[in-house]
Each structure stands twice: as C-alpha cells, then as structure tokens.
Structure 1
Amino acid sequence: MDISIKKSKLTSHQNIQITGSKSESNRLLLLQALYPQIQIENVSNSDDSALMQQALNSQEELIDIHHAGTAMRFLTAYFSIQNNREVIITGSSRMKERPIKILVDALTALGADITYLENDGFPPLKIKGRHLKKSKVSLEAHVSSQYISALLLIASQLENGLELILEGKITSVPYIKMTLTLLNSIGVETSFINNTITVKPNAVEIKPQKLTVESDWSSASYFYSVIALSDLGSEITINSYNKNSLQGDSVLASIYKNFGVTTTFLEHSIILQKTSTISDKSSVELNLSNAPDIAQTIAVTAFGLGLECYMTGLHTLKIKETDRLVALKTEIEKLGGDVAITEASLHLKSAKGINDNVSISTYNDHRMAMAFAPLALKVPIIINNADVVSKSYPQFWEDFKTIGFSINKVL
C-alpha cells in the first residue's frame, strides 16, 4: 500500500502509547523459552517479535523468519543447543543476503552442528541441536552486536558457561550491556572486563518472576523528529519510558537537544517539547556507533531543518533490511538534498529547499518509511509500501493520524 501524507494541523498535547522494545522483547522471549518460569509484560507487538514467538513455539522442522534479522541470529544460537532437535531456518530473499558466518563459526567452535544449504556464510541453515561442552570462543566484535548477544543468551545453558573474547573494536556496546543486564535480572551471573565477557553456567534455579519490557526508544525517534520539525511550543507525551533505560537509542534525549527538543522524564512517560530554534546552528556532527538504528531519523530531521549533518559509526547499516546508507542517499537526493556516503559515514550537506510530492521508496525497510514520515510537516510526500512499518511498529500510521497528519491511500 502506497500512501500520501501531509500535515493537517499538528495536534499538540497528545499522549501516545508505544509498544514494548523489540530488542528487549526478543531477548526476553528467548530467555523465557530457556526458563519458562519467567513471565513477560508489554511484549512488542512488532512482526519481528511475533515471528520470534512463533518460531520458539513451533515444532515444525522448517522455521521461516522472513525479514527478522534479530530472530535469525538469536534463533540460530537457540536451536544449536536444542539437543536432538533438527531444524532448517530460512528467511526472505534479503535475509539470504545478510551474512551470518561470524556467528556460525563461533557456534561451530563451541561444538554446534550447522550446515549452509545454499551459499556459504548465509542463510538458510540446517541446524542439528547438540549438548555443547566447549566454553571458550573468540568473535569479531565490529560487525554486529547481535552475534554477541545471540551467544550470551544461550551461554548459561552451556555445560561450562561461556568465555567470549571480543576481537577488534566493539560495536553497539549498549545492546551488549542490555543483554547482560537482562541475564543478571533473572539470576544469571556475568562479567564484562576489557574485551572478555564471561557467563557462568546456571548453577541455581531461576526463580519465577515477572519482567516488564520498556517501550521502544527507536520508535520514539519519529516523534522526536516531529517535534523538531514543528513550531515552538509543540509538545507530545509518549509512554512507557524510563530515565535509566537499557536501550542505546535512549541517547535521543541528548541528541535532539541539537534540534531544539527538550525531554522531560515523568514516572513512566516522557514529554517532548520544541523549546528553541536552531538558528545558531549550521551543522551537527554525531558518532552513532552505539545507536545506529536512529541514523535515518536524524538524517531526515537535519534535512528538514536545512542543517548540515555528519554522522559516523554507521558500518552496520550496510547489512540491515537494506543498505541503509545507499537508501538514505538515494531518497534524500530525490527530495533535493546532497548526500555523500562511505562504508561507515553519511554527510548531509545543507539544502535550500525540499521537493514536494516525492515518492519515497522503502526497500522493505520499516525504518525508511517511518523516518521520512515527519517530513510531511514541511511538504506533502508519498510513502511507498507503507505497510512495512508492521515489522516494528504496527500502529504507526494510526498514531500519526492522531497527532494531526492527513494520510490517504494512493490509488
């Protein structure tokens, strides 16, 4: 479904409930499969988390996780330790282009039985579950923190636990710390010293407990963008957020000060307010190595405000649902921007105007659709394949209508 989107009148003082964090939900769902005594509240209603739940509950041999990259990585580790269980795990055509060799090599070094069914280094995979006794492995740490988290999530079930040595520059450290904090919260003992992470085997029984997933900060980014592109005094409240978040994308509260947005933390919600203009700024420079998923939103915000923006630490964006750096360059330049990219950076040069009624291609990437949507505050735009938002935020367009956007199907 393609949609046209434009501003009617931004309705301030709206209260938006955002679904639970996909990152937290998928970690906890896997831990719940290993330790059924855990109960989870506010689980993400995203496609990715639904696919994760379905796969964990499935007794079928063929597991298809479609576009869900986190699920592919986490489930590869999970099924590797399901003794006497054999599965084939596959996904979309794009998923078959997303590398998984680093994780498979690490699991194989621990004793896992994994075979590539098509191209070496890529899904689909045939996995024969085993009882893994080895406990020490090294892993390249600069490619994706999800490989690291996948190993950590199963580590307490290994006979001798896990000693994981990280090689090279570690990317997305907050996501690794999120995984370790969730393990600690259920009673698993861990340590992270220099480049070595240790997870002790589960020596004590995990107690029955209820854990509540914090709402998704990546999803909050689109409302930060809306307020940044709005008039002074505009305000939106979003639920349910904590000041001391486990999510790396909570850095939004600090980053968006650059765009005139103030964040006020209440007990379980945040108020976003446009409190200043950016007239004293001409450029913004950011290292997003710890929060690459918000790069698209930030790029569009800066473009909408006519700011130059230079972002580094973006090397993981090339192996996402699409090559997000190429996609950003292509779509922003259709709108009249000037973008230069490298393997790990994006440089947006300041633009004098924005072309209207441009059709934004989304490349089967939920974040492309949602990142460009706030730009409708400046010019009418068209979002192609708008349904793709269901991957992480199914009610996104309804929430955008609530705050004053006019959204119509393109016939």
Structure 2
Amino acid sequence: MNLLLQTTHSNLQADIPVTGSKSETNRLLLLKALFPNVTLVNTSNSDDSEVMQTALKGNEEIVDIHHAGTAMRFLTAFFAVNEGREVVLTGSQRMTERPIKVLVEALEQLGAKISYEKEVGYPPIRIKGQKIIASKVSIPANVSSQYISALMLIAPKLENGIEITLVGEITSVPYIKMTLALLNDLDIKTSFEGNVIKVYPKQEVETKEMVVESDWSSASYFFSIVALADTASITLSSYKENSLQGDSALVEIYKQMGVNSQFENNSLTLTKDTNFKPQTVNFELNNTPDIAQTIVVTCLGLGIGCHLTGLHTLKIKETDRLEALRIELTKLGATISVTNDSLTLVATSTINQNVKIATYNDHRMAMAFAPLALKVPIIIENAEVVSKSYPDFWEDMKKLGFSASEIN
C-alpha cells in the first residue's frame, strides 16, 4: 500500500491515546511467561508484541517471529532455559541477516545448547532447553542492549541467578535500566555497579498487576509534527515524567527544536514554541538511537542542519537505517553524509515534492518521514509496515487533519 500524504492544516490539535511501550511489553511478556501470576495492563498492540505473545504461549517446534528483532533476542534466551523443549527459532529474510552470535556465545558460556541451521552467527537457530547451573558470563557492552536484557530477564529462574560482566563501553544504558526496574518491580533483587550486572534467583513472585507506559518511540512522530506545524497542541496518553524509557529524552531534545512539553494526569501535552528560532543542532544518541530517523527528518523540515552521533547500532536494525536515510533524504533534495556511527545533514530551504519514500520493511522509516507532509506532499511506500510497532498510526494522523490516500 502506497500512501500519498498531504495536509492543508497548519494549526493542529488532537488528543491521541498511544499504545503501550513495545520495549516494556516484550520484557513483561517474558517475565509473565516465567511468573504466570503477573497480569499486564495497556500492553502494546504492535506486531512485535503479538508475535512474542504467540511464541511464548505456543508449543510448536518451529517458531517464526517474522521481523521482530526483540522477540528473536528475548526468545533465544527464554527457550535456552526452557528445560526439555527443543525449538527452531527463525524469522523473515531480513531477520536471517541480523546477527545473533554474541548472544548465542554468551548463553553457551552458561551451558546452553544452541546450533545454527544455516549460516553460523545468524538465525535460524536450533535451541535445546537446558537446566542452567553456571551463573557468570561476559558479553561485549557495545552490542544491542537487547542481548544483555535477554540474559537479565531469564536470570531469576536460573538456579544461581546471573552475573554479567560488560566488556567495553556500554550502549543503550536506559534500556538496561528499564529491564532492571521491571525486575525490581517484581521484588527481584538486582545490582548494576561499574560494568557488572547481577540478577539474583527468585523462583516465585507475589501476584501483581503491571501497567505498561505508552511508547515514547511512537510519541517521537508527534514531537516532529508539532515542530513542523505553524501552531499545534497535541495531548498524548499515557506518559510519566520519570519514565523508564530512554526515548523520553525527546522532551529535552525537541525543546531545542521548538517543542514545549507539559505533564499532567498521566498525559503529555506538546505545544509549538512560537518564539523559536531554528538553528543547527548536535545530538549524541548512543542511548536513544531509535529516534535518530525522526530527528533528521524534523531538521530537514525546519531547514536546519544537524550532526547526530552514537548511531552504530542502526546498521543492524530492520534495515541499515543510516544508508536508508542517506538514500531517501537525498531524493528529497538534502545534502547528507553518513559514517558507521554518525550522520550529518546540511541545512536547506527547499524540499522536493511528491517524492516516493521507500520504507525497507522498516516501520520507523514510514513514520519518521510522515510529518514532512506538513511541508510538501509525500508518498510513503508499503505504508502498512507501521503495524510492526504502531498499527493505528495512519488513523491517528487523520485525526490531526492529514489526508492519506492510496495510490499506485
């Protein structure tokens, strides 16, 4: 489905409920599988979370998680300790190109039995669930934090818990802290000192209801819309000022791009700062790489330059996001350069109209470029890809006065 997006509205107002955080939901789904007396409220309705839930409840030998990278990492660890169960964990073509070796080797240090069905280091993988006695493991710290969180989440059910030594500079610390906080909410003892994480064993937890906060990554597109509008007031629910999610850094980042944020009664209201004077911005996004696409597109729409660093994990996401951004922004008339971990955009005052944006099976490409329709008509190819994390996205755009018409 290709969508032509445009709008005649420059004064935007709406109240939008945003689905629960995919990151929190997938962690809690795994914890619920380990501790069934936990109940969850406001879970994400994303494809990734649906796939995760189906895999945890099913008993098939072949478990296909499609494009869901988080599910691949978390389920690798889950099935490794699911004693007596044997599964083949696989996914889409892109998933078979995304590395899993670092996590597999870490689990093997603990005594897990995992083998590769095709190419070494990549899915599909065959996992034979084992009783794990060993508790000490080391893992590179600059890899996806999901590898580290996967180990932490299974730790309470290990006989001796886990002690993880992170080797090198740590990436995406907020996501590690999110996992620790969710474990602590279930009264599971943890510590994180220097480069060592400890999670202590706990065979049972008290019955508890866990409420999932709405997804901050999904909120990023509304920050972008407010930044690009003439005037705007958008209220999003349900958000906390002291969030576990790293992408809550959006509040401070977008303050530098003319967006004011106000929290009240578990909702977040975004308004346009009409006195804002656009100027070049520099952001280090080591802790929040998922919002890089949104930020660079906002900068293009504002006619300002930007230099973004800390982006090395973007190369192993749903697509090579740095290269995808370079190609699509160039189509729009931008001057952009990328390295293995950074992106530089030169300020420009003109944007090409009616450009077709390829989405590369990447939900964030589709949603990050959508706000540009406030400046020029834009075509989003394969727009249905948003269902991976935010199935209601196009309907919510319509609430704000955007028109989205299907074209060939």
| TM-score, normalised by the number of residues in structure 2 | 0.99
Q: Distance in 2 between matches of 1:403 and 1:349?
A: 29
Tell whether the 8 Å contact from 2:221 to 2:371 is kept in structure 1 after alignment. Answer: yes
Shift of 1:179: 0.2
Alignment match, 1:160 = 160
Partner of 2:5: 5
- The answer to whether the aligner puts 1:227 opposite 2:220 as a matched pair is no
Q: Give the counterpart of 1:250 among 242, 248, 251.
A: 248
Cα displacement (A) at 1:276: 3.3
After TM superposition, list the pairs within 5 Å mapping 1:49-64 onto structure 2: 49-64=49-64
Distance change in 2, residues 1:6/1:277 (3 Å):
farther
Q: How does 1:262-273 map to 2 (within 5 A)?
A: 262-273=260-271
Q: Which amino acid aligns with 2:264?
A: L
Partner Cα distance (2:169, 2:319) in 1: 23
Separation of aligned partners in 1, 2:165 and 2:42: 33
One-letter amino acid of the counterpart of residue 274, structure 2: S
Kept in 2, the 8 Å contact 1:45–1:394? The answer is yes
Letter in 1 for 2:45: N
Q: CA deviation at 1:278?
A: 4.0
In the other structure, the counterpart of 2:373 is 376
- Unpaired runs of 5+ residues, structure 1, are none
Aligned Cα root-mean-square deviation (Å) = 0.8
Match of 2:290 among 274, 289, 293: 293
Give, as a single letter, the amino acid of the residue that structure 1 aligns with 2:57.
N
8 Å CA contact retained: 1:47, 1:390: yes
How far off is 1:10 after superposition?
Answer: 4.5
Q: Residue 11 of structure 1 contacts residue 403 of structure 1 at CA under 8 Å; is this kept in 2?
A: no
Give the match for residue 407 of structure 1.
404
Would you say the 8 A contact 2:294–2:368 is kept in 1? Answer: yes
Q: How far apart are 1:11 and its partner, in Å?
A: 5.5
Equivalent positions of 1:180-191 (< 5 A) are 180-191=180-191
What SS is found at the alignment partner of 1:13?
strand
Structure 2 letter corresponding to 1:371: A
User: For 1:267-346, what aligned pairs fall within 5 Å after superposition?
Assistant: 267-279=265-277, 281-346=278-343
Aligned partners of 2:273, 2:312: CA distance in 1, in Å? 33
* Aligned mate of 1:396, from 382, 390, 393: 393
Q: Which moved more, 1:330-339 or 1:9-18?
A: 9-18
Within 5 Å, give how 1:71-86 maps onto structure 2. 71-86=71-86
User: CA separation in 1, counterparts of 2:345 and 2:329?
Assistant: 9
CA distance in 2, matches of 1:242, 1:76: 31
Is the 1:287–1:312 Cα contact (8 Å) retained in structure 2?
yes
* Residue identity opposite 2:206 in structure 1: K
Structure 1 pair 332–320 and aligned structure 2 pair: CA distance change class (3 A): same
Runs of at least 5 residues in structure 2 that lack an aligned partner in the other structure: none
Residues 101-144 of structure 1 show CA distances to partners (whole Å, capped at 9, x for unaligned) of: 00000000100000000000000000000000000000001011
Question: What SS is found at the alignment partner of 1:93?
Answer: coil
Q: Is the contact between residue 11 and residue 229 of structure 2 (CA under 8 Å) also seen in structure 1?
A: no
**Once the 2 structures are TM-superposed, how far is the Cα of residue 234 of structure 1 from its aligned partner?**
1.3
Shift in CA distance, 10/40, structure 1 to aligned 2, threshold 3 Å? farther
Q: Cα distance 1:342–1:170, how it changes in 2: closer, same or farther (>3 A)?
A: same
Distance 2:342 2:9 in 1: 35
1:276 and 1:89 mapped to 2: Cα distance? 51
Distance 1:91 1:184 in 2: 32
Q: Is the 8 A contact 1:10 1:405 kept in 2?
A: no
In 2, are the aligned partners of 1:292 and 1:317 still within 8 Å (CA)? yes
Deviation of the 1:251 alpha carbon? 0.4
> Do the aligned partners of residues 326 and 278 (structure 1) sit closer, same or farther apart at CA in structure 2, a change above 3 Å counting?
farther
**Contact 2:12/2:229 (8 A) holds in 1:** no
What CA distance in whole angstroms lies between the structure 2 residues aligned with 1:65 and 1:13? 37
Task: Tell me which amino acid in the other structure corresponds to 1:293.
Answer: D
Deviations 1:164-214, CA, capped at 9 Å, x for gaps: 0000110000000000000000111000000000011116x3000000000
Specify the SS of the correspondent of 1:3: strand
Counterparts of 1:398 and 1:11, CA distance in 2: 18
Checking the alignment, whether the CA contact within 8 Å between 1:261 and 1:276 is kept in structure 2 is no
8 Å Cα contact 2:39-2:209 kept in structure 1: yes
The alignment covers a number of residue pairs equal to 408
| C-alpha displacement of 1:8 | 2.9
Q: 1 CA distance for matches of 2:367 and 2:186?
A: 34
Out of 358, 362, 365, which is 2:362 matched to? 365
Q: Separation in 2 of the partners of 1:22 and 1:108? A: 28
- 1:351 and 1:325 mapped to 2: Cα distance? 19
Aligned to 1:130: 130
Amino acid at match of 2:54: Q
Structure 1 contact 10–403 (Cα < 8 Å) conserved: no
Aligned to 2:99: 99
Distance 2:90 2:10 in 1: 43
Preserved CA contact (<8 Å) 1:69 1:95: yes
Q: What is the Cα deviation at residue 12 of structure 1?
A: 2.9
Report SS of the residue matched to 2:12: coil
Deviation at 1:284, TM superposition (A): 0.1
Q: Deviations over 1:345-398 (max 9, x none)?
A: 000111120000000000000000000000000000000000000000000000
* TM-score when normalising by structure 1: 0.98
Whole-Å separation in 2 of the counterparts to 1:22 and 1:10 = 31
- Deviation, 1:263, is 0.1
**Are the counterparts in 2 of residues 225 and 297 from structure 1 also a CA contact under 8 Å?**
yes
Question: Retained in 2: the 8 A contact 1:111–1:134?
Answer: yes
Give the whole-Å Cα distance in 1 for the aligned partners of 2:42 and 2:369.
Answer: 27
